Structure 1
C-alpha cells in the first residue's frame, strides 16, 4: 500500500513526477522495472501522452544511470568494491555480479552499455563499473539512452494497449521479459559462434 501511495504521489505531478519516478527506480529497485512501466502505461491517456511518457521515463532512467556512473567515478575501484562487499546484498548487487559487470567491459563499451540496459538487474548497476572504469561520458550516455528506449517503449506500449482488458499486465510483462532475454542470448551466442567460425586456424 505504501508503494502504491508513493507511485500515486509521483503521478500527481504529471510528466516531471513520472521522470522522477524513473530516477528513483534506478536507485531503489523495490520491484521489477517492467512492472512499473506497464503500470504507467495503464495510466496513460489517449493522444500523444504515450510518446511523452516514453520520453519522460527514458530521461529519468538516464539521469539515474548518470548518478551511478558519477558515484563509481568519484569513489574509484577500491572503495566501490568495499561498499559492494559490505552492502551490496541489500540491493541485489553481490560482489560476484559486480565482477561480472566489470568484466563485461572487456568487449565493446558502447554495445555492452546498450545491451545492458535491456537486461533485468544489469540495467540498474552496469553504470557503476562504467564510472569506475572511466568510460567516455558522451558514448556512455548515448548508449544508455538508446538501450533505455528499447527497454521502456515495449512495456509502456503494452500497458497502454492493455487498458480496459482483462489481461494481467504483470504476467504479460514477465513473458515479454523472458522473450527479450532469450532473444538477446540467442543473438549473443550466434555472434560468438560467427566470430569463431571466421577466425583463421592456428598456424596459418
Structure 2
C-alpha cells in the first residue's frame, strides 16, 4: 500500500493527495497518518506547497465524509427507530434512546463533527449519525472541513518538521488508533452484554 500511495502522490501531485484522502475517508483501512506526513515530507523538499497539501488532503477527506453522510441520511431516524424496535439489542439502542440522541445532535452536532474529525477511527463514522439525524448539509460540510483542515494540518506539519523521519508519525498514531478502536469495541460489547430494553 505504501508504494502505491507514494507512486500516486509522485504522479498526480495534489490531485493524488486529495484522491487518497477521499479513499481514506470512505475506506478506513487506508490510514491518513501514512498519507499526509509523507505529503508533508514532500513539501519540505520544496516539491509541494504545504498549505496546498493541507487543503488538498482536507478537501478529499471532506468529500469522502459526504458519502457517509448521505448513507446516514438514506437510513434516517424513522428507519433506524424501526430497526431498533425490532433488533435494538444488536445496536444497543431503543427508539427512545435514538430520540434522545437526535435531540443531543441538534444541540451539539457541529462541534461533535468537528472534533471527531481529528480522532482516528471515529473521524470516519461521525458522518453517519450526522446524516441519520439530518444535520444541515452546509453546516456539516463547514465543520467537517474545519476538522479535516486541523487533522491534515497536524499531519502535514509533523511530516514537514520530521522530514525523512516522517514515518515516526505512523509509529505514534497507530497505537492511538488501536486504543481508540479497542475502546469503541469494548464499549459496544459492554453495552451488548448489559443491554436492557427500556
TM-score by length of 2: 0.69
- Contact 1:38–1:173, Cα closer than 8 Å, also in 2: no
Partner of residue 162, structure 2? 162
Within the alignment, does 1:70 sit opposite 2:95 as a pair? no
The match for 1:4 is 2
By how many angstroms is 1:70 displaced? 1.3
1:103-126 per-residue CA deviation (whole Å, 9 max, x = no partner) reads 362641211111111112111011
* Alpha-carbon distance change, 167 to 122 in structure 1, aligned in 2, over 3 angstroms: closer
Q: CA deviation at 1:5?
A: 3.5
Q: CA 1:135–1:6 in 2, change beyond 3 Å: closer, same or farther?
A: same
Q: Distance in 1 between matches of 2:46 and 2:75?
A: 45
For 1:39, the equivalent position in structure 2 comes to 38
Separation of aligned partners in 2, 1:5 and 1:48: 19
Following the alignment from structure 1 to structure 2, what is the Cα–Cα distance between the partners of residues 160 and 80?
A: 47
Q: Which residue of 1 aligns with 2:138?
A: 138
DSSP-derived class of the 2:6 partner: helix
Secondary structure of 1:153 counterpart: helix
Query: Match of 2:61?
Result: 61
CA pair 10-166 structure 1, distance change in 2 beyond 3 A = closer
More helix by share: 2
8 Å CA contact 1:81–1:95 kept in 2: the answer is: no
Deviation at 1:7, TM superposition (A): 1.1
Secondary structure at the residue paired with 2:54?
A: helix
Relative to the length of structure 1, the TM-score reads 0.67
TM-aligned CA deviation for residue 24 of structure 1? 0.1
Q: Distance in 1 between matches of 2:139 and 2:75?
A: 21
Change in CA separation of 1:131 and 1:165 when aligned onto 2, cut-off 3 Å: closer
SS at match of 1:118: coil
* Structure 1 residues 117-159: Cα deviation after superposition (integer angstroms, max 9, x where no partner): 1112111011111111110111111111111111110111111
Q: Within 5 Å, which residues of 2 pair with 1:1-204? A: 3-11=1-9, 12-44=11-43, 45-46=45-46, 49-77=49-77, 78=79, 95=91, 103=101, 105=105, 107-165=107-165, 168-173=168-173
